[in-house]
Amino acid sequence: MPDSSLDLVQPSAAIQTVLTAVAADPVAAQGMVAVRDREAEFSSPMTAQLTGVALHTEGRRLADRILDAYWSEESRRQELVQSMSTDREVIIGSGFHAAAYAATRVLAGYPKPLVLESAARPGGTFALTDWPGFRLNSPNRPGGAGPAGDQTTNPNDLPGAPIQAAHLSMDDYSTNTDMGFVIRLTLAQFAEVITDTQIVAVSAEGTGIQVDSATDGPLPAGRIIDARGLGEPKDRDLANGTTVVTFPQFLQRMTDPWPLRGVRSVAVIGGGDSGKCTVESLLGIGPHPRLAAAALDTVDRIDWYSTDLPTTCQQWRQEVRGRYQAIGRYLRPDQFGRRRLTVQPREARPIGLPGSALIDGRTYDLAILCTGYREICIDGLFVEDFDPFLTLGVPVARQHFAMPVFRVGPHARLPFTDRERADGLADIPGNAVSMWRTGPLTAALAATLPAVMTDPVS
């Protein structure tokens, strides 16, 4: 049964460690001090304090370092590993949906789930780097969860989070690191986290589950929430990490000093959101790199290989949603006939050469693969073993046919409902994995599943 005695507005040990460390640093604490004048406008003192931390650059950097140190501490890790049992909920993955599930679950009165993350840095794709690399697709505004077309809602809402991305800036569109910081704070408040753990298999074990970890051995669990997101880059085998890179590798490159030094010609392959965000960065209209200057680091030629993009400025304005309209003006030549951006309406597969990338006989200084993602296989968790799981007649997740395992978020591949099709939401394929659509579904699963020991499928 849920525990109604939980005090849900008190900072967890991890959050208290962050608040104490930031408050003790005169520079990092400036945001916390400034927010004190408006504390009454927040839902709790903790939310006000964390907002102050996040709004100040040094406060956020210190908080990130404190959280990473907290999560990587070996004695705490071993204690968590030894505490695993068949009455424990385990979440695989540490991104948006892991945070949404953990927050909703704890706010509903259940124990904190244990999050298993393969990377060293929790937070998923949004927290790949600690420096902004791209902007979110939906507008930055206050309010509760809801679609991007409803101007009274916040489509970037993370259910149950102690702060929201809308607390962190006045920009039209929040950056990935804003959302990444929200995810990390939510995990710090509502979950226990183990990093650098590689899950290779999941199998039934008595009334529970056995999770086989390449790093921590066999681990018992009572229920698993599979929240691994979109997976790994589909064409990462083509990347050499230098002249041919995946989108995540490009994001990491853009956090280095002078990330575009010597880069004059670039090929971007793939026309989805990651491709659009990459082109924004190359054109200088995305988040600014950590250290770069227009006089030194301007890309002269960008060839964008995609079969589903408009090729002219006029077509772009008519067919592409407002979030990416700024790209369109670069699809026309200037008064001297020069044009930096050209859409090449065909597919491409680059070959990495020493110092360059080759596509159809043309060399580029850099080629960036934005061709989508593929699932990372875990033995026992194959997609064909899952069926839709309904809450009040709505598919909110997928459930394993033989084990208490649920896929959530993009990883669940949830179909559009008849209502969503009638409302036109299915007309944009990207809406299938949008946070405003999938986040509330994950929260609904977390709010309605019974306790692990009383779950009829466990």
Q: Helices (DSSP H) in 73-124: which residue ranges?
A: 74-83, 96-107
Across the range 91-119, mean pLDDT stands at 97
Give residue 455's pLDDT.
46
Judged on CB neighbours under 10 Å (0-12, 13-18, 19+), 450 is: middle
More reliable by pLDDT, 321 or 223 = 223
CA distances from 156 to 129, 211, 229, 283, 438 (A): 19, 32, 16, 25, 11
According to DSSP, residue 424 is labeled T
Question: Residue 43 corresponds to which amino acid?
Answer: S
Contact 238, 369 (CB under 8 A): yes
Give residue 149's pLDDT.
76
CATH, domain 234-371, list 3.50.50, 3.10.400, 1.10.3470, 3.20.20: 3.50.50
H or E, element range at 187: helix 176-190
Fold of 13-231+376-454: FAD/NAD(P)-binding domain (3.50.50)
Across the range 181-206, mean pLDDT stands at 96
Instruction: HSE, CB side, 13 Å, CA atoms: give it for residue 191.
Output: 37
What are 263-292's pLDDT values in tens digits?
A: 999 999 999 999 999 999 999 999 988 889
Contact 441, 261 (CB under 8 A): no
Give residue 335's pLDDT.
87
Give residue 5's pLDDT.
45
Percent with pLDDT over 70 in the chain: 97
3 pLDDT band, cuts 50/70/90, is low
**293 φ, ψ to 5°?**
-145, 140
8 pLDDT band, cuts 50/70/90, is low
Give residue 456's pLDDT.
45
Does 4 score more than 50 pLDDT? Answer: no
Which of the residue ranges 5-9, 132-136, 248-252, 350-354 would you say has the lowest mean pLDDT? 5-9
Across the range 383-394, mean pLDDT stands at 93
Exposure letters 265-299 (e unless 16+ CB within 10 A, then b): bbbbbbbbbbbbbbbbbbbeebbebeebeeeebeb
What are 290-306's pLDDT values in tens digits?
A: 889 999 999 999 999 99
**100 closest CA partner among 411, 308, 337:** 411
Give residue 429's pLDDT.
81
359 pLDDT band, cuts 50/70/90, is very high
Does 454 score more than 80 pLDDT? Answer: no
DSSP letters, 209-269, are: EEEEETTTEEEEESEEEE--TT-EETTGGG--SSSEEEHHHHHHHTTSSSTTTT--EEEEE
Give residue 143's pLDDT.
87
Contact 311, 345 (CB under 8 A): yes
Across the range 368-385, mean pLDDT stands at 94
**Residues spanned by CATH 3.50.50.60 within the chain?**
13-231+376-454
What are 123-155's pLDDT values in tens digits?
A: 999 999 999 999 999 999 998 888 777 888 899
What are 38-88's pLDDT values in tens digits?
A: 999 999 999 999 999 999 999 999 999 999 999 999 999 999 999 999 999
What are 411-434's pLDDT values in tens digits?
A: 999 999 888 899 888 888 888 889
pTM value? 0.94
Q: How far apart are CA 287 and CA 280, in angstroms?
A: 8
Q: How far apart are CA 440 and CA 458, in angstroms?
A: 24
Helix 176-190 with 96-107: angle, nearest 10 deg: 40
The pLDDT mean for the chain works out to 93
